[in-house]
Amino acid sequence: MGIDVDCFVHPPPAALICPICTDIASSPLAVCDEAHILCASCYDNLLKSHRENGHKSKKYPRCPTCRGSTTEADESVLAERIIQSLSVKCGVHDYGCSWTGNYDDLFKHVKKCPLNAFPCHHSKLGCDASLRSHELAVHTVSCPVLQNTPAKLLSDLAAIVKRINCDSLAKHERKQHKTYEGYLQALRDACKRREEEQKEPYRA
Q: Answer yes or no: are the C-beta atoms of 189 and 197 closer than 8 Å.
A: no
Average pLDDT over residues 37-65: 83
Superfamily of domain 5-85: Zinc/RING finger domain, C3HC4 (zinc finger) (3.30.40.10)
Q: Answer yes or no: are the C-beta atoms of 8 and 88 closer than 8 Å.
A: yes
β-pairing, 87-89 with 37-38? Answer: unpaired
Strand partners, 100: 89
Cα(203)–Cα(118) distance, integer angstroms: 41
* Predicted confidence band of residue 166 (pLDDT cuts 50, 70, 90): very low
Average pLDDT over residues 115-122: 76
pTM assigned to the model? 0.54
Domain positions in the chain are 5-85, 116-203
Residues 2-37 have pLDDT tens digits of 888 888 999 999 999 999 999 999 888 888 888 899
pLDDT of residue 167: 41
User: What proportion of the chain, given as a percentage, has pLDDT over 90?
Assistant: 18
Cα(41)–Cα(122) distance, integer angstroms: 31
Specify which of 5-14, 56-65, 148-157 reaches the highest per-range mean pLDDT: 5-14
Is residue 100 over pLDDT 90? yes
